[in-house]
């Protein structure tokens, strides 16, 4: 297995990992490319054997050898109320007994959409799909149809799913595999995508000067979270709003990670900037496969069958996902966000102290319960600065934390996801572990 021996395993865990988990990995290796169904799970950016997880509860997961880990992967975003929250489990179980999907509208779709629109009023109308990728793909198609223009501008290090046209200078797994873009994307498709530096309005203006009337939309993660967490510079989102409006282009906020995460109303509520279209995923499905896109009702009226933009899905608005989503959103009250903010702030401060105590070059970037420790003196402001961080140092840190039974996302350019179930004691344990893991 590539990467399996990059970081030697030590102690008791090495002995057990040679048993049950190893056997599952062997079987998975024979079935899936790289042994996984999504690239980052292969641990190639950090080395070590990828875990096989059999169970989760609250902030904890258990691997196939029965080893308990404190989890900051959080399934890469959906699990803001932790693993197997009893209310989510009950909602899904009850719905499963009622059957579905039905190939017809069912009440759960209406109930979840009403909750979403209440939190994000800019989504005047919306449509459910089955993944964040699909939501983005559909929003781009709509933007092109609405403007009669073909070009899309995105930011270096921004990840918007594996949409063909957006696999250029993308973050997430693409970045940590050091692929500039994916093979198999026709040049004609990639050339419809323009790139700008995140947090650099001059770069966006330059694109509009060069391609002005051709740009259908600018798509942005309003808090970049797929190159590690990189907050928007003050005024950046406001400026993007103004520039796109001035040029007749749409502004799309990809809130697949930030929606219901950095605030109940997402980044658009946190920063007070409203896009034309929004894409959602992750939290709104409570861990089940879901995505949504929506926005101005005049734009959404272009979607079939009310308009000419085709978009459909056998499993769209799946009753199980709607049930999990509603149960999750119902848990997300102001107290919960306050608690998440407070716990995450303690984690941030503790990591900063640990960095200082160890005398190493590192920094912490955080927005709400999204956090990244960068092995770089100051928090990066764009993808170039992200790439200056020391990936080998992160790999060593990741392995040391894993030896302390703390699972961090297995790449330096991913966010850690704090959940509402991480207790003060969990956070303290994490800081204590980091203190020794960061020793040079």
Q: Does 46 bind ligand PMP (CB under 6 A)?
A: no
Q: Which residue in 72, 159, 198, 293 is the catalytic one?
A: 159
Nearer to ligand PMP, 275 or 350 (CB): 275
Residue 280 within binding range of ligand PMP, rule CB under 6 A:
no
Binding mask 73-102 for ligand PMP (x = CB under 6 A): ---x--------------------------
Rg, the chain, Cα only: 21
Determine the Cα angle at 25 with ends 21 and 26, to 5°. 115
Among 281, 295, 319, 409, binds ligand PMP (CB under 6 A): 281
DSSP string, 90-134: HHHHHHHHH----SS--HHHHHHHHHHHHH-TT-SEEEEESSHHH
Write down the least CB distance from residue 265 to ligand PMP, Å: 17
CA pair distance 15, 226, nearest whole angstrom? 34
Q: Using the minimum distance from each CB to ligand PMP, give the nearer residue, 155 or 208.
A: 155
Residue of 137, 257, 269, 324 interacting with ligand PMP (CB under 6 A): 257
In the complex, least distance from residue 109 CB atom to ligand PMP, rounded to whole angstroms: 18
Q: Among the options 63, 65, 71, 254, which is catalytic? A: 254
Asked if 254 is an active-site residue, the reply is: yes
How many CB atoms are located within 10 Å of the residue 257 CB? 29
Q: Which is nearer to ligand PMP, 136 or 393 (CB)?
A: 136
Site map for ligand PMP, 138-167, x if CB under 6 A? ---------------------xxx------
Closest CA to 140 of 231, 246, 220: 220
Under rule CB under 6 A, residue 56 binds ligand PMP: no
Report strand pairing: 151-155 vs 193-196: parallel
Please tell me whether residue 422 binds ligand PMP under the rule CB under 6 A: no
* Six-digit token string for 385: 């600065």
Q: Catalytic residue at 271?
A: no
d(CA 115, CA 100): 21
- Answer for the pair 145, 309: CB distance below 8 angstroms, yes or no: yes
| Chosen residue from 221, 348, 385, 426 binding ligand PMP by CB under 6 A | 221
What is the distance between the alpha carbons of residues 28 and 51, in angstroms, rounded to a whole number? 12
Residue nearest to ligand PMP (CB): 132
- Contact (CB, 8 A) for 88 and 81: yes
Neighbour-count burial of 45, counting CB atoms closer than 10 A to its CB (0-12 exposed, 13-18 middle, 19+ buried): buried
Rank residues 307 and 313 by Cβ distance to ligand PMP and give the closer one: 313
Least Å distance between CB 159 and ligand PMP?
A: 5
Query: How does DSSP classify residue 164?
Result: G
User: Is residue 218 at the binding interface for ligand PMP, with CB under 6 A as the rule?
Assistant: no
Site stretch for ligand PMP (CB under 6 A), options 147-155, 208-216, 252-260, 418-426:
252-260
| Shortest distance, position 210 Cβ to ligand PMP, whole Å | 26
Cβ within 8 Å of residue 330, ≥6 positions away: 87, 115
Question: Of 417, 84, 408, which Cα lies nearest the Cα of 256?
Answer: 417
Minimum Å distance from CB 431 to ligand PMP? 26
HEC-encoded secondary structure of 246-314: HCCCEEEEECCCCECCCECCHHHHHHCCCCCEEEEEHHHHCCCCCEEEEECHHHHCCECCCCCECCCCC
Q: Does 412 bind ligand PMP (CB under 6 A)?
A: no
109 lies in the site for ligand PMP, by CB under 6 A: no
Point out which span in 131-139, 268-276, 357-365, 394-402 binds ligand PMP (CB under 6 A): 131-139
Q: Note whether 276 binds ligand PMP by CB under 6 A.
A: no
Residue 282 catalytic? yes
- Give yes or no for residue 416 binding ligand PMP (CB under 6 A): no
Which residues contact ligand PMP (rule: CB under 6 A)? Answer: 76, 131-133, 136, 159-161, 172, 221, 226, 254, 256-257, 281, 291
């Amino acid at each position: 297995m590539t990467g399996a021996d990059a970081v030697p395993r030590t102690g008791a865990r090495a002995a057990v990992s040679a048993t049950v988990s190893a056997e599952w990995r062997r079987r998975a290796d024979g079935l899936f490319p790289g042994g996984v169904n999504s690239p980052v799970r292969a641990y190639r950016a950090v080395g070590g054997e990828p875990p096989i997880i059999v169970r989760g509860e609250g902030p904890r997961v258990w691997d196939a050898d029965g080893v308990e880990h404190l989890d900051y992967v959080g399934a890469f975003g959906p699990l803001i109320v932790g693993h197997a929250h009893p209310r989510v489990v009950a909602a899904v179980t009850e719905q499963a007994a009622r059957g579905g999907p039905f190939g017809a509208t069912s009440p759960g779709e209406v109930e979840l959409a009403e909750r979403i629109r209440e939190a994000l009023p800019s989504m005047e109308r919306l449509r459910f799909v089955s993944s964040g990728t699909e939501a983005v793909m559909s929003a781009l198609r709509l933007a092109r149809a609405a403007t009669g223009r073909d070009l899309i501008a995105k930011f270096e290090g921004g990840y918007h799913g594996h949409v063909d046209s957006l696999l250029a200078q993308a973050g997430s797994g693409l970045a940590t595999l050091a692929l500039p873009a994916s093979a198999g994307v026709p040049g004609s498709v990639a050339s419809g995508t323009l790139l700008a530096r995140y947090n650099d309005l001059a770069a966006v203006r330059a694109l509009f000067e060069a391609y002005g009337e051709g740009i259908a939309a600018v798509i942005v993660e309003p808090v970049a979270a797929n190159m590690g967490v990189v907050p928007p510079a003050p005024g950046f989102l406001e400026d993007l709003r103004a520039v796109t409006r001035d040029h007749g282009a749409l502004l799309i906020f990809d809130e697949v990670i930030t929606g219901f995460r950095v605030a109940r109303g997402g980044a658009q509520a946190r920063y007070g900037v409203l896009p034309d279209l929004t894409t959602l995923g992750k939290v709104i499905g409570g861990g089940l496969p879901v995505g949504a896109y929506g926005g101005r009702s005049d734009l959404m009226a272009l979607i079939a069958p009310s308009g000419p933009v085709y978009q459909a899905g056998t499993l769209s608005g799946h009753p199980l996902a709607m049930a999990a989503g509603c149960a999750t959103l119902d848990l997300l009250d102001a107290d919960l966000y306050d608690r998440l903010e407070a716990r995450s702030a303690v984690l941030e401060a503790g990591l900063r102290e640990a960095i200082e105590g160890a005398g190493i070059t590192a920094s912490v970037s955080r927005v709400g319960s999204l956090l990244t420790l960068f092995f770089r003196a100051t928090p990066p402001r764009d993808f170039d600065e992200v790439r200056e961080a020391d990936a080998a140092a992160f790999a060593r840190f990741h392995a040391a934390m894993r030896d302390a039974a703390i699972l961090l996302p297995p790449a330096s350019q991913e966010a850690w996801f704090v959940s509402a179930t991480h207790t003060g004691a969990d956070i303290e344990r994490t800081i204590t572990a980091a203190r020794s893991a960061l020793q040079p």
